[in-house]
């Protein structure tokens, strides 16, 4: 029985091993797109943020498409560590959802 020793290293990525150069390139390209994106799994807080965003856009009479991104690899490409998150024209906005 070996108690001490070097731990076997395993490579892991944020998206469950789906990080190919093509998927990362696609995620980087999507980050450059203009518009509003909601980043999140689709939980109640994510849906609340989307609803509030749609309400604000309507009240301000703006013409923006809202995209709800649930793909964890794409979310990770924004550097987001917790969701929900709001992205406007490629920039992650600091928000607080209660």
- Give the 3-state DSSP-derived string for 25-56, with helices as H, strands as E and coil as C: HHHHHHHCCCCEEEECCCCHHHHHHHHHHHHH
User: Looking at domain 35-93, which of 3.20.20.70, 3.40.50.300, 3.30.750.24, 3.40.30.10 is its CATH number?
Assistant: 3.40.30.10
Decide which of 96 and 76 is more confident.
76
The pLDDT tens digits for 4-43 are: 666 555 544 555 555 677 766 766 666 677 889 999 998 9
Q: Give the model's pLDDT for residue 36.
A: 94
Q: Give the model's pLDDT for residue 77.
A: 84
Domain assignments of the chain as residue spans, ordered by start: 35-93
Does this model's pTM top 0.75? no
Q: Give the model's pLDDT for residue 29.
A: 67
pLDDT value at 2 more than 80:
no
């Amino acid at each position: 029985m070996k108690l001490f020793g070097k731990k076997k290293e395993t490579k892991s990525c944020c998206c469950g091993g789906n990080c190919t150069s093509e998927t990362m390139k696609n995620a980087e390209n999507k980050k450059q797109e203009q518009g509003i994106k909601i980043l999140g799994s689709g939980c109640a807080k994510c849906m609340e943020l989307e609803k509030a965003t749609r309400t604000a856009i309507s009240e301000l009479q703006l013409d923006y498409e809202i995209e709800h991104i649930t793909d964890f690899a794409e979310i990770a490409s924004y550097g987001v560590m917790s969701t929900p998150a709001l992205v406007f024209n490629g920039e992650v906005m600091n928000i607080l959802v209660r």
